[in-house]
């Protein structure tokens, strides 16, 4: 089946690519394996220079790469350009800190000398999503390449131009041919790559079903995996919060990337004493958002990435209302070309309903009224996911309690959840396992080798 690049703002096909044949795919895997044998011996200084070159290419062409992202998956051009800029940050972070993160670590034992050495393990397959088509890839590629591994990218089928652009950036930056390759393949071909003995490990960012599939296949072959899956992040607002800032941030946190982010705030859990005020302000601010052409500077929110995603989101909204939720705003697909959906607010989705425990991947917010911090934590943790969380309170005791008791890979206090190259990123429960970014991310795909000398 052909791999098509379709503009979600217009519903028109931009380009069509033929997937790799079995023979061509095998050649790329062989090339990756052969390249690793020499690439693993390159110096940290060389890798850092190539990463710095990649950062410069990205920085100098942010507008060009932003337009590719916007045309393929519909994010606003402003946010796409910012995404390219964030990739610059990741490349420079690992260029400047990678060697330090992987330096030998001395450990005192009864040996004359004992230490830990971190060494690369080989070609790593990255199965990446469409929603942050550059950032998701570079936050894997920068630490993996700096560690001495080589990368293989199986990108989402609706962003092939992004995938090819990233390969071109890294090639132009000076990385050896074969150090990073884009595999234009369908989902049915991914299994053969995971099963190939030349592929050492895999990382996936995506849906829970995709994560289960990759984890099962790699488990059968005893291969390391890192999974960053879905999220239904809570956004908790307590009475002592700065309500104006909380509302403003809440709307941004729900509609970032057109609402299509794993770490977007999705469940807004608000203390009873400030709930009515929060609801009114939140609905008003959501209603004022400008939905339209993602290339236009005045647009706040563009289309959803595909027709299927929009239809699934709409079905979830309808099921939520049928289960007893109140529809405060939106709830409709916007007519005309493209895959646009109205900013939508639901209140009081029953906790017994299926929708309460599902991820809503689009501009749909769920509001909940709670009596106190204890109930807020209970509602927040009543989810199969545990990726990020945001809590709003000026009470230091409440802050400590939320930090300790919320079941998530991250807790942001009085701020919006965001990924940062300096900090580990990942989740618990069905949001996956392992970590990306920071020192933890660069150590996921290395051999942690114990060295003991008499």
3-state secondary structure of 447: strand
So what's the pLDDT on residue 188?
Answer: 87
> Domain span at residue 179?
3-229+431-453
So what's the pLDDT on residue 429?
Answer: 98
**What's the CA gap between 343 and 97, in Å, rounded?**
41
Give all strands (DSSP E) within 229-384, no chain letters: 233-237, 265-271, 326-329, 344-347, 364-370
pTM over 0.95: yes
Average pLDDT estimate for 48-77: 98
Whether residues 173 and 267 fall in one domain: no
**What's the CA gap between 300 and 198, in Å, rounded?**
45
Q: Please, what is the Cα angle at 418 between 414 and 421, to 5 degrees?
A: 125
- Judge contact between 154 and 126, C-beta under 8 A: yes
Give all strands (DSSP E) within 38-159, no chain letters: 105-106, 113-120, 123-127, 150-154
Tens-digit pLDDT profile for residues 225-244:
999 999 999 999 999 999 99
Tens-digit pLDDT profile for residues 190-212:
999 999 999 999 999 999 999 99
Strands 390-392 and 412-413: parallel
Whether residues 112 and 175 fall in one domain: yes
Which amino acids are annotated catalytic?
Answer: 228, 262
So what's the pLDDT on residue 42?
Answer: 98
Whether residues 218 and 283 fall in one domain: no
Q: What is the DSSP letter of 291?
A: B
Whether residues 130 and 248 fall in one domain: no
Nearest to 342 by CA among 304, 297, 307, 305: 304
- Judge contact between 345 and 282, C-beta under 8 A: yes
Domains contained in the chain, number = 2
Tens-digit pLDDT profile for residues 355-404:
999 999 999 999 999 999 999 999 999 999 999 999 999 999 999 999 99
What CATH code is carried by the domain that includes residue 403? 3.40.309.10
What CATH code is carried by the domain that includes residue 144? 3.40.605.10
């Amino acid at each position: 089946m052909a791999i098509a690049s379709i503009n979600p703002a217009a519903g028109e096909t931009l380009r069509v690519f033929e997937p790799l044949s079995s023979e061509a795919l095998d050649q790329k895997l062989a090339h990756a394996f052969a390249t690793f044998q020499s690439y693993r011996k390159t110096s940290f200084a060389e890798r850092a220079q190539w990463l710095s070159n990649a950062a410069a290419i990205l920085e100098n062409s942010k507008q060009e790469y932003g337009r590719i992202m916007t045309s393929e998956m519909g994010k606003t051009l402003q946010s796409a350009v910012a995404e390219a800029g964030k990739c610059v940050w990741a490349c420079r972070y690992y260029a400047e800190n990678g060697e330090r993160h992987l330096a030998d670590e001395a450990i005192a034992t009864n040996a004359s000398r004992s230490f830990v050495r971190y060494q690369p393990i080989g070609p790593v397959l990255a199965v990446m999503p469409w929603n942050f088509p550059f950032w998701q890839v570079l936050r894997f590629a920068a630490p993996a390449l700096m560690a001495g591994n080589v990368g293989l990218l199986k990108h989402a089928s609706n962003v092939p131009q992004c995938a090819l652009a990233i390969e071109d950036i890294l090639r132009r930056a000076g990385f050896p041919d074969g150090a990073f390759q884009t595999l234009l393949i369908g989902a049915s071909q991914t299994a053969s790559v995971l099963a190939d003995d030349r592929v050492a490990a895999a990382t996936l960012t995506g849906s829970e079903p995709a994560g289960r599939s990759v984890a099962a296949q790699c488990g059968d072959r005893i291969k390391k995996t890192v999974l960053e899956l879905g999220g239904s992040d809570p956004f908790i607002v307590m009475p002592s919060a700065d309500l104006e800032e909380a509302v403003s941030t809440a709307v941004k946190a729900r509609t970032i990337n057109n609402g299509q982010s794993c770490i977007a705030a999705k469940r807004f859990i608000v203390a009873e004493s400030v709930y009515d005020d929060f609801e009114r302000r939140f609905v008003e601010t959501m209603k004022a958002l400008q939905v339209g052409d993602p290339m236009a500077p005045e647009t706040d929110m563009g289309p959803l990435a595909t027709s299927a995603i929009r239809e699934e989101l709409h079905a979830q909204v309808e099921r939520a209302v049928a289960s007893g939720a109140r529809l405060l705003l939106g709830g409709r697909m916007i007519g005309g070309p493209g895959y646009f959906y109205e900013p939508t607010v639901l209140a009081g989705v029953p906790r017994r309903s299926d929708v309460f425990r599902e991820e809503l991947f689009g501009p749909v917010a769920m509001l909940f009224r709670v009596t106190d911090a204890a109930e807020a934590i209970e509602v927040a943790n009543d989810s199969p996911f545990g990726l990020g969380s945001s809590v709003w309170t000026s009470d230091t005791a409440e802050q400590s309690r939320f930090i300790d008791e919320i079941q998530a890979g991250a807790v942001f206090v009085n701020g919006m959840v965001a990924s940062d190259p300096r900090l580990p990123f990942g989740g618990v429960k069905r949001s996956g396992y392992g970590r990306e970014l920071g020192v933890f991310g660069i150590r996921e795909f290395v051999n942690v080798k114990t060295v003991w000398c008499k």
